[in-house]
Amino acid sequence: MAVPTKMASGALPRFLLPKLSWNTPAKTYRSLLIPAIQPTAPWQSQTTSFHTSRQTPQCRRAGSLSYSAPNSSMFRKTFHTTPARQRDHHFDTLKFVQRLKGEGFTEEQAAAMMKVLNDVIEESIQNLTRTMVLREDAAKATYTQKVDFAKLRSELLSADSTESSTTRAAHERLSNDITKLSSRLRDEIGRTQASVRLDLNLEKGRIREEAVGQELKIKETETKIEQEVAALREKLEQVKFQTLQWLMGIMRWSEEVHVGSFFTDPLKKDEMASGFPMPFYSYPLVFGAAS
């Protein structure tokens, strides 16, 4: 553990070490070696921890690096302004080692546990900071995103205006087409209705003419029937008159025959003389004899 500590102390920049070590390295070396040489008492450990907690992170890091360094030649090395960067400790390693030694661990065990804990903390911090970025990078990314969003917004606005104008033009074109189709359909409906009305009127006229013709025919038939009936009536009257004339002639002739036979029949004479009428059954004989 002493070799890496020596290399790290020689590679540290000057501003990371306490200010006292710039001028008096012997005193600093002595003050840093006192906790490791003298026995650790409870009150001494409390005092040391108090003074260590009051130190700055750079001072604690410098003290932890110079811990267990037996050679004083490292303090006579010159400091460089551009050293190789070593990883930073995220806790007070000296205080941690001293507490472990106070709990009964040896120096090697305490140093090994300190290194393991430091590695674990370093790995955890690396895992945490792996997804982190610098504030400048975040600002650059934010600015880039803002620029991209502004560009996208302008493109969307232009596309929206273009699409809206195109949609408006298409809507107007469709509206005009629909209006034309409506007017054309209205004209077609009007023409169809006019043709249907004309056909209906013509059909009505034809039906009316046929009805008039049928009425004329019916009237002619009725006239003919009336004429026939009148002729039949005249014929019947004539037949009736002729029948009456014939009957009147027959009756007159029969009367004349009867009267003539009455005066010429001897039975009639006997009847007239006796005062009793002759039976009716005897008349045919009289008529037959007279005829």
Retrieve residue 139's tokens.
């600002």
Q: Which residues contact 121 (CB under 8 A, 6 or more apart)?
A: 90, 91
Distance set, CA 206 to CA 145, 201, 217, 284 (Å): 87, 8, 16, 76
Distance set, CA 149 to CA 1, 4, 155, 264 (Å): 55, 51, 10, 162
Give the model confidence (pLDDT) of 239-275 as tens digits: 888 888 888 888 888 877 777 766 665 555 555 555 5
Please determine, for residue 181, whether its predicted confidence score (pLDDT) is greater than 80. yes
Distance set, CA 214 to CA 186, 203, 217 (Å): 41, 16, 5
Give the CA count within 13 Å in the CB-facing half-sphere of 252: 6
Give the model confidence (pLDDT) of 143-175 as tens digits: 999 999 999 999 988 888 888 888 889 999 999
Query: What is the reported pLDDT for 93?
Result: 85
First to last CA, the chain: 198
Give the model confidence (pLDDT) of 52-101 as tens digits: 444 444 444 444 444 444 444 444 555 445 555 555 666 788 888 899 89
Distance set, CA 32 to CA 26, 37, 49, 133 (Å): 10, 10, 13, 38
Q: Which among 95, 17, 30 is positioned nearest to 62, based on CA atoms?
A: 17
- Whole-number average pLDDT of the chain: 71
- Mean pLDDT for 201-209 is 91
Residue spans per domain, the chain: 2-132, 133-257
Give the model confidence (pLDDT) of 102-139 as tens digits: 988 999 998 999 899 889 988 888 888 888 878 898 89
Determine if the pTM surpasses 0.75. Answer: no
